């Protein structure tokens, strides 16, 4: 510690000034574009517009509690995020394990798998909207070809299937991301632990459970964390696919916030909702990090 | 509180979307420039073309800021709210107008007209279109001029009607009966659905429901301004809509304009409510399987005369425009009969009676007589600054009824309750 202190004081004023000068642009941008708006949005979340001007108070937050649309949109967001995450993770992990081993044509599969992720979400939305069209779409067309009755399969038009449809699209598009991160994680694992496991005579399952999985944990954490944050703020595909319909069945919180801010021009309420979402995302991320890190330490 | 508003809007836009700011052209200095915010699409294209012609004629440079429909409203509202003076003229879809006018964002056109010796808008403009440009509706001051005169029409397959001995539907009951007859008896060339409806949550569901709602005697607000969609008439209208839905292709609760258009063009549906912009595609061999088979008429009635929903594009001058005089010159020029005729030839329905009856245009657009009749009797969506929010909520519950999630009574009662909340919040 004292050593460090000395080296700090050894920095002369000019060096310090120079350092400050160097970080100043970044700091200014951060202040202007992130920190100031963040604090400003706190103030607008505390204001409501009435016929007589702006009123201060917690009206926006109390309205949240009694707003059935907000609750439903929140519930949809969490169902969407949880379901998509489970599928993306399990399929992504399976694919990563498969393509990490020496199978034929794995370079081709690896490249092919990444395509959905490279498409803009809007394009994905439009393409799937066409494919899911009950009358002209490729999906029902194929099902009809193999002799299934598609009369009740109206996908995005059905209150029961709509959420499932948008989740399926997300899984299609973002499983490759999970796959990519996990594959990178797998390839970073050294050979030695596997050799040791082999010598100890562990089964394939034991090797996976006690060698691969613990060593893959950092990659798992990154994949899950990034996907969760993305899923909780999902907007584009759903906006294109269903616009939140039918009858609010696929409205997520981002769509509702967007509508409130830019369609109804109620920035205060939109800001209040954004803060609740931010808080929840933070809580979930913290839980993830704690959970995966302590487990890692105990292994 | 304009300054408060200014920062609110500016910051919120930054914080929430970080909208790229590349579209702002450099601030114009003197009178030799105008900046126009237009919709990207056929309506905006006509105005862009007009701007080029105007530039050639007068030497005044016109900057065009073009936005897709979904972003135009928010872009304009943010800029006008922030009083940036970025635009001298803006295109507005008429349901947005009450919001802009109530906020006093627009320039009163009367003084500018008086300076030119005009007492008011040209009498040639269709009264229902001019009424949209006044705040309060129909009676107030003039804040815009109508540029594109859309109103809904009833589309139907003339060939199938003739084949099954059906007459042009005057009442919604005729429509239902015809839908049944056609769907049950028409088998040539795959399944033909009797009717096709837009019922996707939001604008689509509401736009297709309003003409039925009005025909059945429904009113969104009673005389004291209280929401009244859950009247007996309102419930009857929704029940009727669901009956009609039985003859609409499966999945219609997610349909928007594209799906409805596709069904009509493919010949897989026989009737619908639609907007004039679709008419030209029916005679396009690369898109249409029903060339020469479609007919267009005014909307059917029920207990009341049928009325279409009006949907006009207006042009207004923002209050903070840097050069209102020059903007007014362009506005009057662009909406003059000669210029509007060019716009009509480019595919936009005019807002002037003389053009709807212009022989050359009628020859090119045979549906003009029906369009004129529809437009002259058309009704606007309720004139309230909260329309976006009300339409959204109403659309959600209509969509819930159409997809079978709620009964018509529950849907319309819940819609009414939510609309009431919106109205109360605004007070």
Query: Which residue has better confidence, A106 or A146?
Result: A146
pLDDT at A102 exceeding the cut of 80: no
Chain A: give the shortest CA distance to residue B162, in Å: 26
Taking residue A85's Cβ as centre, other Cβ atoms within 10 Å add up to 21
Euclidean distance between CA atoms B115 and B119, whole angstroms: 9
Residues B55 and B174 in one domain: no
Q: Is A127 on the interface with B (CB under 8 A)?
A: no
User: Which 340-399 residues of chain B touch chain A by CB within 8 A?
Assistant: 386, 388-389, 392, 395-397, 399
The residues, any chain, with a CB within 8 Å of residue B260's CB and separated by 6 or more, are: B196, B197, B198, B269, B272, B274
Q: Are B73 and B314 within 8 A, CB to CB?
A: no
Token pair 């716009």: residue: B343
Q: What is the ipTM of this complex?
A: 0.77
Structure tokens at B264: 């009509």
pLDDT at B111 exceeding the cut of 60: yes
Mean pLDDT (chain A) is 88
Instruction: From B377, B395, B417, give the residue that closes a domain.
Output: B377
Q: What is the pLDDT of residue B203?
A: 87
Q: Are B342 and B336 within 8 A, CB to CB?
A: no
Chain A: give the shortest CA distance to residue B399, in Å: 5
How far apart, in Å, are the Cα atoms of A111 and each of A100, A120, A288, B211? 13, 17, 30, 52
Range name among A112-116, A290-294, B59-63, B422-426 with the lowest pLDDT average: A290-294
Euclidean distance between CA atoms A37 and A44, whole angstroms: 10
Domain that holds residue B187: 153-307+386-426
Cross-strand partners of B155: B272, B296
pLDDT at B187 exceeding the cut of 80: no
Residues B210 and B334 in one domain: no
Residues B219 and B348 in one domain: no
Structure tokens at A196: 């040791």
The residues, any chain, with a CB within 8 Å of residue B363's CB and separated by 6 or more, are: none
The enclosing H or E element of B12 equals: helix B2-16
Residues B67 and B173 in one domain: no
CB contacts of B396 in chain A (<8 Å) are 245, 247-248
Q: What is the pLDDT of residue B8?
A: 58
Which of A33, A134, A259 lies nearest to residue B14, judging by beta carbons?
Answer: A33
Euclidean distance between CA atoms A160 and A158, whole angstroms: 5
Q: At B282, which CATH number?
A: 3.40.190.10
- What is the average pLDDT across B186-210? 88
Q: What is the pLDDT of residue B32?
A: 77
Query: Which residue has better confidence, A8 or B34?
Result: B34
Euclidean distance between CA atoms B264 and B244, whole angstroms: 16
Residues B140 and B244 in one domain: no
Residues B119 and B168 in one domain: no
Mean pLDDT (chain B) is 90
CB contacts of A44 in chain B (<8 Å) are 8, 11-12
Assign B11 a pLDDT band (cuts: 50, 70, 90).
low
Give tens-digit pLDDT for B239-284: 999 999 999 998 898 888 888 999 999 999 999 999 998 898 899 9
Hey, of A265, A266, A271, A275, which one would you mutate to test binding to chain B, going by the most B CBs within 10 A of its CB?
A: A265
- Kindly state the percentage of chain A with pLDDT values over 90: 52
Q: What is the pLDDT of residue B173?
A: 96
Residues B20 and B9 in one domain: yes
Burial per residue of A241-270, b for 16 or more beta-carbon CB atoms within 10 angstroms, e otherwise: bbbbbbbbbbbbbbbbbbbbbbbbbbbbbb
Structure tokens at B288: 């249409």
Q: How many domains does chain B have?
A: 2
Domains of chain A are: 13-60 (no CATH), 67-298 (1.10.3720.10)
pLDDT at B61 exceeding the cut of 60: yes
Residues B214 and B136 in one domain: no
Residues B215 and B68 in one domain: no
Q: Are B106 and B319 within 8 A, CB to CB?
A: yes
CB contacts of A51 in chain B (<8 Å) are 426-427
Residues B223 and B100 in one domain: no
For helices A68-100 and A162-188, the axis angle rounded to 10 degrees is 40
- What is the average pLDDT across B108-127? 94
Q: What is the pLDDT of residue A299?
A: 43
- What is the average pLDDT across B316-334? 94
Residues B198 and B338 in one domain: no
- What is the average pLDDT across B307-326? 94
- What is the average pLDDT across A80-103? 92
Residues B127 and B113 in one domain: yes
Give tens-digit pLDDT for B161-175: 999 999 999 999 999
Query: Which residue has better confidence, A4 or B393?
Result: B393
């Amino acid at each position: 510690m004292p050593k460090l202190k000395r080296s700090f004081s050894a920095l002369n004023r000019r060096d310090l000034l120079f350092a400050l000068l160097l970080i100043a642009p970044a700091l200014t941008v951060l202040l202007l574009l992130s920190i100031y708006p963040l604090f400003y949005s706190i103030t607008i979340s505390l204001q409501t517009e009435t016929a007589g001007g702006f009123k201060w108070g917690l009206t926006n937050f109390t309205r949240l509690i009694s707003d059935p649309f907000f609750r439903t949109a929140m519930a949809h967001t969490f169902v969407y995020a949880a379901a998509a995450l489970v599928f993306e993770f399990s399929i992504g992990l399976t694919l990563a394990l498969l393509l990490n081993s020496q199978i034929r044509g794995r370079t081709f599969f690896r490249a092919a798998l990444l395509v959905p992720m490279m498409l803009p979400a809007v394009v994905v939305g439009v393409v799937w909207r066409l494919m899911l069209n009950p009358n002209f779409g490729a999906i029902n067309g194929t099902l009809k070809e193999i002799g299934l009755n598609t009369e009740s399969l109206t996908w995005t038009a059905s209150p029961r299937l709509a959420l499932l449809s948008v989740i399926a699209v997300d899984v299609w598009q973002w499983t490759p991301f999970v796959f990519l991160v996990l594959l990178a994680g797998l390839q970073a694992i050294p050979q030695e632990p596997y050799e040791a496991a082999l010598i100890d005579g562990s089964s394939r399952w034991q090797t996976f459970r006690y060698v691969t999985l613990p060593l893959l944990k950092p990659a798992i954490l990154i994949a899950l964390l990034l996907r969760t944050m993305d899923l909780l703020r999902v907007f584009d595909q759903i906006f294109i696919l269903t616009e939140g319909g039918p009858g609010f069945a696929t409205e997520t919180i981002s769509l509702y916030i967007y509508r409130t801010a830019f369609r109804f021009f109620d920035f205060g309420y939109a800001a209040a909702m954004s803060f609740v979402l931010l808080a929840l995302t933070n809580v979930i991320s913290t839980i993830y990090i704690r959970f995966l890190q302590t487990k890692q330490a105990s292994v | 509180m304009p300054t408060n508003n200014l920062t609110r809007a500016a910051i919120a836009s930054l914080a929430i979307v970080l909208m790229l700011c590349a579209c702002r052209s450099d601030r114009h200095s003197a009178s030799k420039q105008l900046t126009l915010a237009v919709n990207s699409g056929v309506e905006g294209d006509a105005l862009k073309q007009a701007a080029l012609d105007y530039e050639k004629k007068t030497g005044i440079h016109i900057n065009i800021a073009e936005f897709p429909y979904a972003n135009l409203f928010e872009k304009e509202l943010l800029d006008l709210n922030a009083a940036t003076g970025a635009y001298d003229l803006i295109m507005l879809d008429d349901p947005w107008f009450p919001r802009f006018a109530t906020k006093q964002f627009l320039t009163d056109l009367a003084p500018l007209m008086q300076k030119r010796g005009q007492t008011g808008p040209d009498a040639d403009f269709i009264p229902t279109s001019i009424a949209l440009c006044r705040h309060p509706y129909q009676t107030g001051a003039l804040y815009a001029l109508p540029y594109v005169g859309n109103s809904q029409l009833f589309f139907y397959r003339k060939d199938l009607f003739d084949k099954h001995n059906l007459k042009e539907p005057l009442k919604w009951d005729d429509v239902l009966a015809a839908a049944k007859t056609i769907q049950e008896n028409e088998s040539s060339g795959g399944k033909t659905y009797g009717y096709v409806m837009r019922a996707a949550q939001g604008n689509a569901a509401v736009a297709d429901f309003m003409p039925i709602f009005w025909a059945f005697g429904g009113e969104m607000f009673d005389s004291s301004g209280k929401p009244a969609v859950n009247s007996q008439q309102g419930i009857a209208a929704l029940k009727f809509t669901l009956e009609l839905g039985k003859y609409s292709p499966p999945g219609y609760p997610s349909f928007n304009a594209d799906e409805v258009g596709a069904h009509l063009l493919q010949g897989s549906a026989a009737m619908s409510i639609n907007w004039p912009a679709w008419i030209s595609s029916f005679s396009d061999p690369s898109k249409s399987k029903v060339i020469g088979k479609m007919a267009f008429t005014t909307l059917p009635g029920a207990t009341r005369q049928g009325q279409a929903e009006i949907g006009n594009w207006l042009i207004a001058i923002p209050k903070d425009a840097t050069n209102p005089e020059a903007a007014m010159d362009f506005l009057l020029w662009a909406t003059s009969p000669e210029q509007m005729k060019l716009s009509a030839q480019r595919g936009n329905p005019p807002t002037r009676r003389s053009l709807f009856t212009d022989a050359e245009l009628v020859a090119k657009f045979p549906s003009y007589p029906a369009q004129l009749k529809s437009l002259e009797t058309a009704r606007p969506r309720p004139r309230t600054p909260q329309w976006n929010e009300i339409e959204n909520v109403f659309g959600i519950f209509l969509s819930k009824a159409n997809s079978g999630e709620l009964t018509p009574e529950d849907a319309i009662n819940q819609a009414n309750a939510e609309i009431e909340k919106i109205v109360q919040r605004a007070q």
